[in-house]
């Protein structure tokens, strides 16, 4: 299929996306020293994305922001339980209980070019299903020691192809990999 | 104290130093495509090291190599159980059941300049005790999904200072951090 699925996420050096309770204070603290105007490639990445696919936790985190952060983008919230999209959100937001495989097939048939897969559990499900095509990982210079892992158990190795690495003067290291589906 | 303690290690992108059973076939496979003569800074690092400090697992892995890999270096093998150093090894190898703190104090008093702390459990103990000064991490382009983690639980965040990042054409990414003891 011609739809690409991408991960664009930050972790601590020990691979956590949040503390055990979901707190991302450490990430907010790190972002606070990023120079104004530096977005570490986020806007460029977002401009290549048609549709965001995220889990309920990520969705609920986004709802706590002052403004809905994905204006103008289709957002699919994966949830096994029924999800009521709060009033006031744009009609670009929908919920789905489809499996990653079924969802990607449907969005591909609808003409999606690139999916932004976000949230730890959702990323893990897509990786385990072999549905992720590229990963942009930004390493924050801190070891947390515990928290919610980006990566989870998978049955088979996933070989990667290194694409680019960029280090920032404020200590972030951003690495982009392509998943080697043909390996 | 003037003794520095350093980590120099490779992990999968998901932070494993070995498979669940200790197998490092994935690392050997990755190293097999490294051009001859490229050591990713290992010899330069080793030339700055006085003494290796490792756990029993790492020691036993080193014993399986064709030749003893640490000729001419003092090696301290940490083990809570009595350890018999096999005959035929140089007398630079000794065993210790000291705590990381006590060991570093002793080696420092003996004039050690730089310790190379190796092995997952040993690294975790030294990190938890605040005894690691710098970390050189080489990320191998593969996700394993399970295995023995480099990092383990710690009580407090360990802030890092990014020093350098280098990416290699064969896909390894090597990042060097200093531990921000004063943060």
CA distance A58 to chain B (A): 21
Q: Which residues of chain B have pLDDT under 50?
A: 183
Two tokens at A148?
């919610």
pTM: 0.95
The reported pLDDT for the residue numbered B181 is 82
Nearest-CA neighbor of A92 among A77, A106, A104, A75? A75
- For B171, the closest of A15, A144, A162 (CB atoms) is A162
Task: For residue A81, count other CB atoms closer than 10 A to its CB.
Answer: 7
DSSP character at residue B160:
E
DSSP character at residue B137:
E
Average of per-residue pLDDT across A106-132: 97
Q: Which residues pair with A36 in a beta bridge?
A: none
CA atoms within a 13 Å half-sphere pointing along the CA-CB vector of B166: 10
Q: What is the CATH number of the domain that holds B51?
A: 3.40.430.10
CA distance A73 to chain B (A): 30
The reported pLDDT for the residue numbered A85 is 85
Tens digit of each residue's pLDDT (9 = 90 or more) over B8-56: 999 999 999 999 999 999 999 999 999 999 999 999 999 999 999 999 9
B173 vs A: CB within 8 A:
yes
Tens digit of each residue's pLDDT (9 = 90 or more) over A44-100: 999 999 999 999 999 998 998 889 999 889 999 999 888 888 888 889 999 999 999
Average of per-residue pLDDT across A140-166: 97
Q: Which residues pair with A137 in a beta bridge?
A: A9, A175
Position A182 confidence tier, pLDDT thresholds 50, 70, 90? low
- Quote the CA–CA distance of A46 and B145 in Å, as a whole number: 28
Full residue range of the structural domain in which residue B60 is found: 4-179
Contact residues on chain B for A145, CB-CB shorter than 8 A? 151-158
The reported pLDDT for the residue numbered B182 is 64
Residues 32-61 of B with CB under 8 A from A: none
The reported pLDDT for the residue numbered A1 is 53
Domain count, chain B: 1
The reported pLDDT for the residue numbered A84 is 83
pLDDT at residue A120 above 90?
yes
Query: How far does CA A41 lie from the centroid of its chain?
Result: 14
CA distance B160 to chain A (A): 5
DSSP character at residue B168:
-
- For A157, the closest of B137, B142, B167 (CB atoms) is B142
pLDDT at residue A183 above 80?
no
């Amino acid at each position: 299929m011609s739809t690409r699925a991408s991960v664009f996420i930050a972790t601590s050096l020990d691979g956590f996306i949040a503390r055990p309770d979901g707190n991302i204070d450490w990430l907010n603290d790190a972002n606070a020293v990023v120079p104004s105007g530096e977005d570490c490639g986020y806007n460029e990445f977002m401009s290549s994305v048609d549709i965001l696919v995220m889990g309920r936790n990520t969705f609920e985190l986004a709802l706590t922001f002052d403004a809905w952060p994905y204006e103008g983008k289709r957002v699919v919230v994966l949830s096994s339980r029924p999800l009521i999209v709060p009033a006031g959100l744009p009609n670009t937001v929908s919920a789905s209980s489809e499996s990653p495989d079924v969802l990607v097939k449907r969005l591909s048939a609808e003409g999606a070019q690139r999916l932004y897969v976000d949230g730890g559990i959702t990323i893990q499900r897509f990786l385990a299903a072999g549905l992720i095509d590229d990963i942009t990982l930004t390493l924050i210079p801190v070891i947390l020691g515990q928290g919610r892992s980006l990566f989870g158990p998978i049955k088979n190795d996933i070989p990667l192809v290194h694409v680019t690495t960029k280090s920032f003067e404020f200590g972030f290291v951003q690495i982009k990999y392509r998943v080697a589906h043909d390996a």
